Structures are given as C-alpha cells and as structure tokens.
Amino acid sequence: MPGITDPKINDYLMKLSLEDDPLVLEMERLARENDFPIVDRLVGRLLYLLTKLKAPRLVVELGSGYGYSAYWFAKAIGTGKVILTDNEEDNIAYAETIFGKAGLSEKASFHAGDAVGIASGYRDIDLLFIDIDKHQYPGAIKSLLPNLAENALVIADNTLWYGRVTGKNRDRDTLGIKKFNKFMFGNADFFSTLLPLRDGVLIAYKIR
C-alpha cells in the first residue's frame, strides 16, 4: 500500500498553516486524544477556500462527526446554512456546543440519525460534503442527485482511502470508494478532480 503525500511535505504544509482559532485547536486536540477521524487542518482550509469561492446558500454534510469540517464551512459561508448529520447523538451535541461558543449556531442545523435520509429532505443543495462509511458513497451520491442545485459542488473525503484504491483490496469500503470515483469521473453531469491531500479529496462541479 503506497503512502499518499511524503510526510516531510505534509510537515512543511502544516507549518505554513498556522492557526489561532481556539475552537479549531480544541477540536484538533480532541481528535488526537481520542483518535477520532477528522479531516485535518489542511483539508479544513481547503473547504474554507472553496466555500468562499462557491458562496453556497445550503451546505449539507453527510457524516459530520463532531463538527470539525462543518466549522470550516460555517466560518466561510456568509449568509448560507450548514446542515450537520451524524449517527451519534454525542457527536452532534458536541458540535452544537462548539458552534454555540463560536457564535455560529444560526448558520447551522444539527441532526442525529441517518445522513442520507436526513439530506434527502433538502432541495437545491449547493455544496454536498460526503464523509460517511466508505461503502455508502456510491449509493449516497446516486440517491441525492435530484437534490443538488445547478452548478453544485460535491466534495468527498477519503477518496484515496489510505492509498488502497491503487491495489487489489476487495473489502467493501475500498470497492465503494473506487466505484464512487469512477462514477464521478465518468458522469458527464460532473467535472471532477481528486486532490492527493491527506486521504484524498474529490471535488466535483455539477455542469448541468
């Protein structure tokens, strides 16, 4: 299994990306202490920048964890709203606390339960962020296609899945990610790119 980015490069990028927001630092510390999977600061900053460019009114997250990625979206979003979803009540409760401390509560809506089910209640999604169980990615995007706005942005985390996409692994998560990537790059409704940042970030722009 290959690595993705050379660790020295990653260190260099982290050193450039200084952070002084105490809530970002608190969430990052919590992730380290509990070995909780979050997109890292580099991906967080990319989400922030893409949100500034896209200026979405509605961001829907599938799999928010305790709100790290949602926090970057909310900080950048302007007048829009971020919908958080996670299976775990505790994660969602923690996210609510963090957003409250940051004064960002009004920019967000918090939901514990099945991410795709909750998301399907929203129309005209401008930015869909996918970070649920990996085997669920292909089903999730297919079922939510009718819910995307024109020129929507789809961003999916872990789309290199520790580099396993390059090998012969047949587990359902690796197969799910490979199928998802093929679907996104092969679908004429999207223009897709996949960045080798952290564990792989697929970014797709809906053309029609």
The footprint of a second copy (CB under 8 A) covers 2-13, 16-18, 42, 45-46, 48-50, 52-54, 151, 153, 160, 163, 165-166, 181-182, 185, 191-197, 203, 205
Nearer to a second copy (CB atom), residue 139 or residue 163: 163
Helix boundaries (H) for 38-134: 41-54, 68-76, 89-102, 115-119
Distance between CA 155 and CA 200 in Å, rounded?
10
**Of the candidates 138, 34, 130, the residue with the CA atom closest to the CA atom of residue 91:** 34
Nearer to a second copy (CB atom), residue 136 or residue 159: 159
**Of the candidates 195, 187, 165, 168, the residue with the CA atom closest to the CA atom of residue 177:** 165
Minimum distance, C-beta of residue 48 to a second copy, in the bound complex (Å): 7
Nearer to a second copy (CB atom), residue 94 or residue 162: 162
Distance between CA 68 and CA 23 in Å, rounded?
9
Minimum distance, C-beta of residue 131 to a second copy, in the bound complex (Å): 19
**Of the candidates 159, 158, 154, the residue with the CA atom closest to the CA atom of residue 50:** 154
Distance of CA 5 to the CA centre of its chain: 19
Nearer to a second copy (CB atom), residue 19 or residue 88: 19
Minimum distance, C-beta of residue 186 to a second copy, in the bound complex (Å): 8
Minimum distance, C-beta of residue 200 to a second copy, in the bound complex (Å): 8
Nearer to a second copy (CB atom), residue 16 or residue 35: 16
Distance between CA 23 and CA 28 in Å, rounded?
8
Minimum distance, C-beta of residue 92 to a second copy, in the bound complex (Å): 28
Distance between CA 128 and CA 152 in Å, rounded?
8
